[in-house]
Amino acid sequence: MDLYGRDLITTQEWSKAELDVVLELAARMKRDRFSERWTKVLAHKTFFMFFYNPSVRTRQSFECAATELGGHAQFLVPETMRLKTATTAGETIEDAAKVMSRYACGIGIRILEDKVPYYGAGTELLREYAYWADVPVVNMADDRFHPFQGLADVMGWAEWFGGGPGRPDYTRLQGKKFVLTWAQGALARSWCSVQEALLIASRFGMHITIARPDGYDLDPEVIEWTRQNCQAWGTSLEITNDPVRCMDGAHIVYARNWMSPNAYQDGQFKKQEEIAKALSYQGWTLDAAKMARTDNAIFTHPMPVDRGNEVTDDVASGPNSVIYLVAENRLHVQKAVMALTMGNL
């Protein structure tokens, strides 16, 4: 399957067969991480990492990925570039994308909720870069989607229920109950990671339950895509405002805070107001009592974990936590996508 030159904005836009190819290669790369078969895939090539927002795992994992493929990852921030904005003159996205395409084998962009004036503006920026660029543009997290996180998530879940690290069995996920629950928290998080988790879980045949307080609905388009994915498998989608009974019989529990649909007002992200509102809720922290209602479920989270608010320490660091397994998989799925879309594999 030829994926060379493809953009990756969200996993929903790639076929299930294409995702399978990526995940199979990621597992091979994980089992044989430093094999010489991978070390020249991006030989003498540079990958541009364009960060509107800082990160821990994203920068580290992409730099490691480029290095292990024999290439180089260059760190860029908009403050060091003369880019046109709504209030300043400078280089347009068309010009920047076309010039960057002459230098690099691919462009990754990370732009989250506090760097955009309204929900969806981050994805729009990525799509404009993808329109003008002549090299693949990949989403390192925007305000709607986080495809590499979704791929790392499902790989980790399939490893847990399959043959262990590097040996995922995706058929073991079919029919499992996946619970995505809102949690109180002090970070006012965007929707990108949780929405990508919904999309990827429903693409791999799981029953989906979303638990959230009234007023914390997610993107209607993403919910509809999730519903369609479930219909294709004959699985269910349930949405509830009960943070306890939703856990009954669960196999995978994903507890994370996310902002409300009213987070933007007059072109501004109201972060402190969102934090204050989220912390006012009671009963939405994932703890051992809730996990005891599950079918020996695993706890999953994209990190950073807001311990004590989103989840208690005994769950986050417990024997059924896959947070570090999933975090490790960011490296391997990113290597696989870069190799297939930008490399000579």
Determine the pLDDT at residue 229. Answer: 98
Determine the Cα–Cα distance for residues 166 and 27; give it in Å rounded to an integer: 5
Within this chain, domains 11-144+329-342 and 149-327 share the same CATH topology: yes
CATH of domain 149-327: 3.40.50.1370
Task: Provide the 3-class DSSP secondary structure of residue 260.
Answer: coil
What is the CB-side half-sphere exposure of residue 287 using CA atoms within 13 A?
Answer: 9
What is the per-residue DSSP string for 105-161? Answer: SEEEEE--GGGSSSTTHHHHHHHHHHHH-SS-EEES--SS--HHHHHHHHHHHHHHH
User: What is the predicted pLDDT for the residue at 90?
Assistant: 72
Residue type, 5: G
The topology (CATH level 3) of 11-144+329-342 is: Rossmann fold (3.40.50)
Helix, strand and coil content of the chain, in percent to the nearest 5, comes to 40, 15, 45
Strand order in the sheet with 237-240: 237-240, 207-211, 177-182, 252-256, 298-300
Domain spans, the chain: 11-144+329-342, 149-327
pLDDT of res. 85: 65
Torsion of Cα atoms, 207 then 213 then 215 then 221, to 10°: -10
Tell me the two tokens of residue 158: 């399939």
Per-residue pLDDT of the chain in tens (345 residues, 90 and over written 9): 799 999 999 999 999 999 999 999 999 999 999 999 999 999 999 999 999 998 889 999 999 999 999 999 999 998 877 776 665 667 899 999 999 999 999 999 999 999 999 999 999 999 999 999 999 999 999 999 999 999 999 999 999 999 999 999 999 999 999 999 999 999 999 999 999 999 999 999 999 999 999 999 999 999 999 999 999 999 999 999 999 999 999 999 999 999 999 999 999 999 999 999 999 999 999 999 999 999 999 999 999 999 999 999 999 999 999 999 999 999 999 999 999 999 977
249: left (phi over 0), alpha (psi -120 to 50) or beta: left
| CA 333 to mean position of chain CA atoms | 11
Predicted pLDDT of residue 80: 78
Give the pLDDT score at 274: 95
pLDDT recorded at residue 11: 98
Contact in structure between 329 and 26 (CB atoms under 8 Å): yes
